[in-house]
A and B are shown apart, each in its own frame.
Chain A
Amino acid sequence: MTTNHSSADRDALTRLWDAARPVEPTDAAWDALWARVTDRLDQQQPAEAPTVLAFSPWRRISGRVLIAAQAAAILMAAFLAARHRPVTESHAPTPLAQIAMVHEWDFPPGIIPMIRQDDKGVRFVAFAQDERSNALVGPLDGNFAMYDYMEGLAD
């Protein structure tokens, strides 16, 4: 197939196009067309927006769960921090204790120690443990038996 056309052929085609071509739309026609298109798009905007921006129920639920989980984590961390706080051992006397003199005692084992306060002052008195004085059971020393009994009485 050849692409060489004669001048007569080109003139004939031009005449045929001039006779058959549609009328070019006017500027007013173009403006009207684009106005309709813009209006249609503006009318569709509310319907289109959710398809782009809306969250599905799953997303909403997972978002809430996430917020709740983070809040729980913060609360738990605060709770752990409070419980982890080391207990400081205070040897300082209480304000009330500052009124009275604080006496220090180190009791040896195998005795019944007593801190006695009377008109002679505060002093230490030691009583020997006597197994024969045990009024409860067996060969336990009296101090131990008395301790057991009073602890049981508290319960």
Chain B
Amino acid sequence: MPILRRRRVDRVVPLPVLNRALFLIGSLLVLIPALALRARGQVPDAPARQVTLFGVIASPFDPRIDPKLAKIAPQLRKLLPGHGFRLLDVQSKRLTASQSVTCNLEDGFTAAATLIQPVDENGKVRLRCAVLQKEVVALESLVTTPANQLFFCDKLLPNATRMLIGIGAR
């Protein structure tokens, strides 16, 4: 007598339960990084400084003062007596370590200030300051300075005018 084959109709895995479990795991995989990101948002930001950089041309041949610089003419004249002053560019940017702010000056000159260390062991700021001419460094200094105190780089140009770069961090 022929044997009737039994057909497989059994359900091995209860799929709804498995799906819900996998969905729960997937949701946790999303939620945990999201919560971590939110927690990171509550952590104080990396130390930063507002760095201001400006370039001025000082000429011994033209005593005029750029109207934009009229209010600080006494201070500039104290630095370079007998000169006129013309503002080339001024930039101010909030920087964290390794970030830079740059100024485009004339005749292919560029000034750049890079924040090296927002606060050192003495509470001062460390900056790298560079004056570049056609992307070649003409003057570079590693400066440690108190915050809220401007300092200057003064470079004599071939035409006897001076390029005055002011830098400060607060």
Contacts and interface: CB of A to CB of B under 8 A. Distances in A.
A102 B26 contact: no
B123 to A, nearest CB: 10
B56 to A, nearest CB: 10
B97 A87 contact: yes
Contacts of B73: 135
Interface string A124-151: 0101001001111000001111110111
B141 A102 contact: yes
Contact of A114 (B1, B2, B137, B152): B152
A142 B75 contact: yes
A133 to B, nearest CB: 5
A30 B170 CA distance: 101
A72 B82 CA distance: 65
A41 B2 CA distance: 15
B39 to A, nearest CB: 11
A107 to B, nearest CB: 5
A28 interface: no
Give the one of B23, B37, B74, B124 with max A CB within 10 A: B74
Interface residues of A, number: 70
Interface residues of B, number: 71
A62 interface: yes
A85 to B, nearest CB: 12
Nearest to A114: B152
Nearest to B72: A146
A69 B28 CA distance: 9
Contact of A113 (B26, B72, B151): B151
B168 interface: yes
Contact of B154 (A34, A96, A103, A117): A117
A80 interface: yes
Interface string B1-30: 110100111010001100110110011011
Contact of B78 (A31, A87, A142, A144): A142
A149 B36 CA distance: 41
Interface of B: 1-2, 4, 7-9, 11, 15-16, 19-20, 22-23, 26-27, 29-30, 33-34, 36-37, 40, 46, 50, 52, 54, 68, 71-75, 78-79, 87, 90-92, 96-98, 116-117, 124, 129-130, 132, 135-146, 148-156, 166, 168, 170
16 contacts: A34-B2, A34-B4, A48-B9, A72-B30, A89-B98, A99-B137, A104-B144, A115-B154, A117-B156, A130-B78, A136-B72, A143-B75, A145-B72, A147-B168, A151-B50, A153-B87
Interface of A: 30-31, 34, 37, 41, 48, 52, 55, 58-59, 62-63, 65-66, 69-70, 72-73, 76-77, 80, 83, 87-91, 93-94, 96-97, 99-109, 112-119, 122, 125, 127, 130, 133-136, 142-147, 149-151, 153-155
